[in-house]
Amino acid sequence: MSNQFSLTEEDIQNEQARFMTKVYGWMSLALLVTGFVALYVASSPDIFTAIFSNSLVFWGLIIGEIFLVGYLAVAVQRMSATMATAVFLLYAAINGLTLSVIFLKYTKASIESTFFITAATFAIMSIYGYVTKKDLTKIGNLLMMAFVGLILATLVNFFIKNEMLYWITTYIGILIFVGLIAYDTQKIKEMNIIGNEGTDEDRKEAIMGALSLYLDFINLFLLLLRLFGRTKD
């Protein structure tokens, strides 16, 4: 039996706060890994050319990213906490490889300013999701359906290359991920099993929470970069 019933409300809130601190810590580490790898690859012409001049290598990395996220989501319960952490950080590193192209396309100043805009937006919405008493489940479900539509529209536009659709998906995508940050924060806070602090299960919960918020952050950053990024052309 869980010892949750022997804990006071203050104890529960404190444990939730410590859990979310771990989630944010793992998310921040993953962002650092992604940023470091992306910057390193962008400053290494041989590595950059090897990735982006060969479509098999590039699409192999994209497929690898999708596989790692799916594998972590499906098999996390069977993994050790160490393995889950390794898979998460490996995904962050591979994501850095594919995202390195932004340092070649956009100016450093615009990337930095967009990152800070993203970070500020993330902080505001995540704090809201953490402290609000409103149940965001219905909103979250709508956002997830809208996200599926966004993926389909983006895939269609990959082939037809319609500029109006490009900007429509950009603005709608920003709204979707701004909302998902709050929804995912609330969901992660509530999924924490009170009383298992310090266990492997607790660490795996934190890793999965970090993955969700990491994906929200990265996607919001890339969409905002469409708006605020200044190209080097």
Q: In this predicted model, what pLDDT tens digit does every residue of 26-77 receive, in sequence order? A: 999 999 999 999 999 999 999 999 999 888 998 999 999 999 999 998 898 8
- Rounded CA separation 180/86 (Å): 25
Q: In this predicted model, what pLDDT tens digit does every residue of 170-211 receive, in sequence order? A: 999 999 999 999 999 999 998 887 767 778 888 999 999 999
Smallest Cα–Cα separation from 83: which of 196, 215, 209, 203? 203
- Contact present, 107 and 46 (Cβ < 8 Å): no
Q: In this predicted model, what pLDDT tens digit does every residue of 2-35 receive, in sequence order? A: 444 566 777 788 888 899 999 999 999 999 999 9
